[in-house]
Structure formats: structure tokens, C-alpha cells
Amino acid sequence: MPENRPSPARPRRLPVANQAALPRPTEVVLHRPTRLNRSLRVLRQNPLGAFGLMLILLLVVVGLLAPMLAPYGTNEFAGLPGQAPTMDFPFGTDKFGQDVFSRVIRGARISLQVGFIAVALGTLAGLLIGAWSGFKGGVVDVVAQRMVDTAIAFPQILFLLVIVRVMGPSMRNVIIAIAILIIPSVARIVRSAALVERNNLYIEAARAMGASDGRILLRHIVPNVAPIAIVVATTLLGGAILAEASLSFLGLGIPPPNPSWGNDINVARTTFPINVSAALFPGLAISLTVLGFNLLGDALRDIFDPRLRGR
Amino acid sequence: MGRYVIRRLAMAAMILWFISMIVFVLLRIGPGDPALLQQGINATPERIAQVNKEMGLDDPYVVQYLNWIKGMLTLDLGRSALTQTDTTDEFMERFPISLQLMVMTLVWTVVIGIPFGIVSAAKRNSAGDYTVRLFAILALSVPGFWVATLVLIIPVQQWGYAPPLDRQASLFSEPWANLRQFGPPSLVLALGPIASVMRLTRSSLLEVLRADYVRTARAKGLNERVIVLRHALKNSLIPVITVLGLLMGGLLGGSVIVESIFNLRGLGQFVYRAILQKDFNVAQTLVMYTAGVAVLLNLAVDLVYSLFDPRIRYA
């Protein structure tokens, strides 16, 4: 892992009352790297993270352009069922004679959609709950923390199964279930950041100027702890996509005719005669997606918050 | 120490109570009527009412909740709403299967994860280290159910081989058949934990190797092998033990998928079926049991941890 270098110290202005009275120092031209240059350097120092980012960008493009890229229609009967890969069907065909390649491409769209929306919702809620709980302290904090403890103790897959079973399997409900699952992990980390943040002098200053709790929370605490929440969210995206795939595999996720990778593996498993390629490729797609998010998440965590490393 | 233990026990009790309420309420909202599921769509309303009465499903929720808690505390788990089999009996029948699966998974995790983690840290930035780290990040990205599916279907397609899935082989009378049944699922289940333990052992050992007392040991000329294995390892394993406890708690849930794929008649498969069929009595008890074991494991790990490392108690 590359060493974490401290960022070059910025020149600070001297706290002098009348700066104009001082003789101006000779202008020193510093070559401050541009934003783009800096980003490129960060990428070079984290080749694995850069690779993860590329994987995800590729998948996002595939997901967005899915209808154009897929050679066959959504539930089109394309050829004989259960074929091994050929020129016409690079990933073979499934038990209904659909082109696995097209389904994998369309699956990217659904997977990413579920992952991004669920994590965005869950992170937003976790951010607000965590910041509030850390900022307010006292009873609010104790109650929120015990709820977080409870949620973390709850076996995840069972929680998802129960929620989706109760609400009925649909894309919306899968998103809600995964979002709820994410809240406690975000809330816990944001809370500890907010605990540190609330002791800063500028919070006291804001309070002295008569700012209300709500204003301090939303204008000062939340923006300052948000970067941590975003890093955590990235590390959770892979898990969210895995969760959707697992639910779909168990028949409680995205309802069947839709192209979901988890679903397709389940269909391939119960096909006879067995056609390995129909199970192999959707799984590879899941693995690459999750790998991309994991690599990117690890890199972001290393860059932004070395304290979180290894957790 | 006493106060710390009491506080932790109270917290665990509170969490268990929260979970029991959540499970109880969650399973009762939403569509699906167990009596209707049991009797079929053509059942008369009278029959449904009678079945509800027999199963206690027309009692007020408070009574149902208290009866459920009482049943769990007295080890009387009631009857399945669907199959009418005694839940306690079925639980006892399935428990050893899940236990064996978990123990084997734990063994793989410790036997593979820790040594490779040590090698990875001791030979930092070597080819071996990179291999271990690459394996770990891949293993954490690959869905278990996919690996399980491939492990089952590839041998069938290539060699026409399938592990015996139709019935459960006993470990004692047919050990070979039993291991053929449990080997693949336990390895698949161990994949994630192995990767986590490898990474954690590595990072934790690397941290300890930077400590002053390790430098002292080096300065007095001990060889590296003795330093790593005798001095550094012990301290670096404390966080690993904690995480092993957490991972085991998670395994109970993880076994849901693997048991279903490999057709092992364990608790995971049981709870999955119960949730799918909205079999309240069984589902609520099993979810509660799974969560309970996870909470207690967590508690046990924390207490053991505070024994090892007194700093924790005051944190």
C-alpha cells in the first residue's frame, strides 16, 4: 500500500493587524498543481483504486447504453435453449433460449440502479441520524446507539428476507430493504465523527451568535462529516449489489422476467441439462462490479481517512 | 470489571428485547395468512377461524408475544403452522447439521486464514504477500451463492460427479460420505471469513511488528522467526479473535443460502423455508435464535477481550 504522505502545508497569512504596512515579500511563483493534475497523481499512487474506478465507469457506461449494446431484446427468444457460447451468442443461451450476453448487459443497469439508489438513501438517513445523535448526545444518543447496536446484531440476510417477504418482492422494496440495512453502519461512523466535530470552536461561535441546533446541525456538522459518509458509502456499494444479487437468487429480489444477475444464476442452476456458461457469466459480472467498488472504496478510505484502514 | 460485565449484560438483554419486538411485529404485518396457507384456498371461513384458534393466532398480540417468549425460555417452541411438526424436535434434528457446518467453516478459516496472513505480513511486499492480498480481495468480491452453484454444476457437466445430496450421511457411521457432503459447502462458506482473517492478521501483525519491544527483540539479535512467532503473533491475534467471533455470528445467516443450495437440512434452510411460507411460529423463533446467538457471541468476545486487554474496559 502506498505511504500516506501529509499534504504540503499551505502558506498561512501572519496574523498581523495591518498587512499593507509591511514590506511586500518578493513574489515566489509556486507551481501549484492543477486540480486535474492532483487527481491524476492520486490515481497513480493508488493503481488498484484507479482500476476499480475504471471498472465501475465501464459498467456505468454499459448500464446506460444497455438497450443499444445488447444484441437481443429483453425477453426475446433468441435461439435454442441451453447452448454453449458461439459466435451468435458469446455467453451462450439460458433455459428459455434467451441470449445470456444481452441479459448480462441489461442486468448491469438494474444492479447499479438498485445499488446506487439504496446506498444513497441509506447513507443520507444514516448521515442525518448519526450526526444528530453525535451532536445532541444524551438520551437521543443512547437511544439511537442502542437501535444501531440492534440493527448490527440482526443477521443481515435474514433481515432482508423478512423485509422483502413482508413487503413483497419488487425493485422498490429491495431498494428500501437494502437502504434500511445500510443506515446503522453509516450512522455509527458518522456519529463518532460528529462527536469530534461538535467540540470545535466554530460551533461554539455559531452558538454564541444565536444559531439554533437545527441550523448548526445542517449547516456546520453535516457538511463537515459528509465526506466520511461518502467514503463509507463507497465501501458499502459492493455489499449492496451483492445483497440484491443474493435476494434475487433466493427468489425474493427483482421479480423474474427482469434481467437480474442473481436471478439468472438461479435459473441456470435449475436448468437441465446443465449449461455452465449461463451461470458463469452473470456471476462474473457481479464479481467484477463488487470488486470494482471494493477496490475503489479501499483506496478512498486510505486517502481520506487512514484511521478507518482495516476495519 | 464487575460493572463493565453488568453493563454489557444489560445492553445485550436490551438488544435481544428490541430484536424480539422487531421480529414479532415484522412477521405479522404484510400480506399472507398462515391458516389460509395451511388449509388451502378452498377452506371455509369457519375452518380458518378454528385453525387460527388452535394455533393461538386469534389471541391479542400481547398474549401471543408473551406466549412466544415463555415458550422460548422453557424450550417449548410450539408447532409449525404449516406442517404441524413439533418445532423443538425439528430444531434438535437440524441443529447438529448446522453446527457441523459452522465448526468446519471455522476450522478452514483458522487453518487457512491465519497462517497465510502471518506469511503475508512477515514477507511483506513479496510475491507471496501480493498473492495472498489478491486472493483476499477477490474472495471478498465473489458472491458465495455463485461459487456454490459452480462448485455443484461444473463437476456434473464435466465428469458427471455430484456429492450425495439426497439424504444426510452421519459423521460417525459414514464419515467419508459425510465429509463429501460437508466439505464443499463449508469451504464455500469459509471463503469470505478466510479472506477477512487473512487481511486482518496481516494488518494487525504488521502493526505489532512496528512496536518498540519488537525493535528491542531485533536489537538483541533474535532471529526473525522467533520474533514473529513467539513475540509478535500473540499480541496481534487479539483483534483476530474478536473478528472470528463476529464472523461466526454472521455465518448463521450466511448458511441460509449455502444450506439451500447444497440441500443440507440445517437451520438455515429451515428458517428460509419458514420465512418464505410465513410460518410465524418457526420463523420468529429461528430468527430470534440466530440473532440471539450472534449477540451472545459478540458479548462473549467482548468480555474475553476485556480480560486480555484491560484498556478496553475503560474505553
For A66-92, what is each residue's pLDDT tens digit?
777 777 777 766 666 666 777 666 767
pLDDT (mean) for B225-230: 78
**Same domain, yes or no: B65 and B148:** no
pLDDT (mean) for B66-74: 77
Band (A120; pLDDT cuts 50, 70, 90): very high
Residue B134 CB neighbours (<10 A)? 11
Task: Write out the three cell numbers for B260.
Answer: 439451500
Which residue of A lies nearest to B133 if distances are taken between CA atoms?
Answer: A1
**What's the sign of the alpha-carbon dihedral B228, B233, B239, B241?**
positive
Is A116 a residue whose pLDDT tops 80? yes
SS3 B86: strand
pLDDT for B82 equals 63
Chain B interface disruption, residue of A165, A180, A286, A294, most B CBs within 10 A: A165
Is B268 a residue whose pLDDT tops 60? yes
pLDDT for A311 equals 39
Note whether B181 and B266 are within 8 A (CB). no
Note whether A80 and A273 are within 8 A (CB). no
Residue B59 CB neighbours (<10 A)? 14
Note whether B139 and B195 are within 8 A (CB). yes
For chain B, the average pLDDT equals 78
**Same domain, yes or no: B52 and B103:** no
B26 touches chain A (CB under 8 A): yes
**Same domain, yes or no: B165 and B222:** yes
If one compares B79 and B26, the residue with the highest pLDDT of the two is: B26
**End-to-end distance of chain A based on CA atoms, in angstroms?**
15
B79 touches chain A (CB under 8 A): no
- B38 is a domain residue: yes
Residues B138-193 pLDDT 10s: 888 888 888 888 888 777 777 767 666 666 666 666 777 777 778 888 888 888 88
Bridge partner residues of A93 (DSSP)? A99
Considering B73, B103, B133, which residue would you say is the last residue of a domain? B73
Band (B33; pLDDT cuts 50, 70, 90): low
Grid coordinates 457432503 are at which residue? B181
- B296 is a domain residue: yes
**Same domain, yes or no: B66 and B197:** no
Of residues B246, B257, B224, the one with CA closest to residue B305? B246
For residue A76, the distance in angstroms to the closest alpha carbon of chain B comes to 25
Structural domain count of chain B: 2
If one compares B170 and A175, the residue with the highest pLDDT of the two is: A175
Tell me chain A's radius of gyration from C-alpha atoms.
25
pLDDT (mean) for B251-275: 82
Note whether A139 and A125 are within 8 A (CB). no
Residue A255: which residues within 8 A CB-CB, separation 6 or more? A169, A170, A171
- B294 is a domain residue: yes
Of residues B292, B295, B290, B251, the one with CA closest to residue B274? B290
pLDDT (mean) for B34-55: 68
| Contact flag B149-A291 (C-beta cutoff 8 Å) | no
A281 touches chain B (CB under 8 A): no
Band (B292; pLDDT cuts 50, 70, 90): confident
**Same domain, yes or no: B98 and B69:** no
pLDDT for A198 equals 81
DSSP assignment string, A85-146: P-SS-TT-B-TTS-BHHHHHHHHHHHHHHHHHHHHHHHHHHHHHHHHHHHHH-HHHHHHHHH
pLDDT (mean) for B64-92: 73
Residues A192-250 pLDDT 10s: 888 888 888 888 888 888 888 888 888 888 888 888 888 888 888 888 998 898 888 88
Identity at B253, one-letter amino acid code: G
Phi then psi for residue B86, to 5 deg, are -75, 125
| Contact flag B142-A295 (C-beta cutoff 8 Å) | no
Band (A179; pLDDT cuts 50, 70, 90): very high
- The Cα-based distances of A253 to A122, A260, B114, B283 in angstroms read 18, 9, 35, 19
- CB contacts of B27 in chain A (<8 Å) are 162, 166
Distance CA(B281)–CA(B302), nearest Å, equals 32
Task: Write out the three cell numbers for A276.
Answer: 455452465
pLDDT for A76 equals 67
| Contact flag B143-A291 (C-beta cutoff 8 Å) | no
pLDDT (mean) for B235-247: 80
Distance CA(B306)–CA(B315), nearest Å, equals 10
Highest mean pLDDT among A12-26, A236-250, B76-90: A236-250
pLDDT for A175 equals 92
Distance CA(B140)–CA(B310), nearest Å, equals 32
Bridge partner residues of B68 (DSSP)? none
Residue B8 belongs to domain spanning = 2-73
Band (A130; pLDDT cuts 50, 70, 90): confident
For residue A180, the distance in angstroms to the closest alpha carbon of chain B comes to 13
Enter the pTM of the model: 0.80
Distance CA(B117)–CA(B111), nearest Å, equals 11
Is A121 a residue whose pLDDT tops 90? yes
Considering B44, B73, B102, which residue would you say is the last residue of a domain? B73
**End-to-end distance of chain B based on CA atoms, in angstroms?**
12
Note whether B305 and B5 are within 8 A (CB). no
Decide if the complex's ipTM is over 0.85. Answer: no
pLDDT (mean) for B290-300: 81
Note whether B37 and B82 are within 8 A (CB). yes
| Contact flag B295-A147 (C-beta cutoff 8 Å) | no
A84 touches chain B (CB under 8 A): no
pLDDT for A125 equals 92
**Same domain, yes or no: B98 and B62:** no
Domain CATH for B106: 1.10.3720.10
Residues A284-311 pLDDT 10s: 899 999 999 988 888 887 777 655 444 3
**Longest pairwise C-alpha distance within chain B:** 86
DSSP state for residue A220 in the 8-state scheme: I
pLDDT for A83 equals 67
- CB contacts of A243 in chain B (<8 Å) are none
| Contact flag B18-A252 (C-beta cutoff 8 Å) | no
Of residues B188, B186, B206, the one with CA closest to residue B198? B206
- The Cα-based distances of A72 to A90, A93, A102, A108, B52 in angstroms read 12, 11, 6, 15, 50
Band (A13; pLDDT cuts 50, 70, 90): low
Distance CA(A182)–CA(A176), nearest Å, equals 10
Distance CA(A72)–CA(A59), nearest Å, equals 19
Phi then psi for residue B32, to 5 deg, are 105, 125
Distance CA(B304)–CA(B313), nearest Å, equals 11
| Contact flag B146-A286 (C-beta cutoff 8 Å) | yes
- B87 is a domain residue: no
User: Across A207-311, where does the E strand assignment appear?
Assistant: none
Chain B interface disruption, residue of A148, A161, A311, most B CBs within 10 A: A161
- The Cα-based distances of A49 to A113, A211, A292, A300, B203 in angstroms read 22, 41, 8, 8, 19
**Same domain, yes or no: B64 and B105:** no
Note whether B186 and B99 are within 8 A (CB). no
**Same domain, yes or no: B269 and B193:** yes
**Same domain, yes or no: B36 and B140:** no
| Contact flag A268-B149 (C-beta cutoff 8 Å) | yes
- B78 is a domain residue: no
Residues B104-146 pLDDT 10s: 899 999 999 888 988 888 788 788 888 888 888 888 888 888 8
CATH ID of A105-311, from 3.40.190.10, 3.40.50.150, 2.60.300.12, 1.10.3720.10: 1.10.3720.10
Long-range contacts at B134-139 (CB < 8 A, ≥ 24 apart): B135/B195, B135/B198, B136/B195, B136/B196, B136/B198, B136/B199, B137/A291, B137/A294, B137/A295, B137/A298, B137/B195, B138/A287, B138/A291, B138/B195, B139/B191, B139/B192, B139/B194, B139/B195
**Same domain, yes or no: B51 and B173:** no
pLDDT for B164 equals 64
Residue A137 CB neighbours (<10 A)? 13
- Helix (H) or strand (E) run with residue B179 in it: helix B175-209
- B89 is a domain residue: no
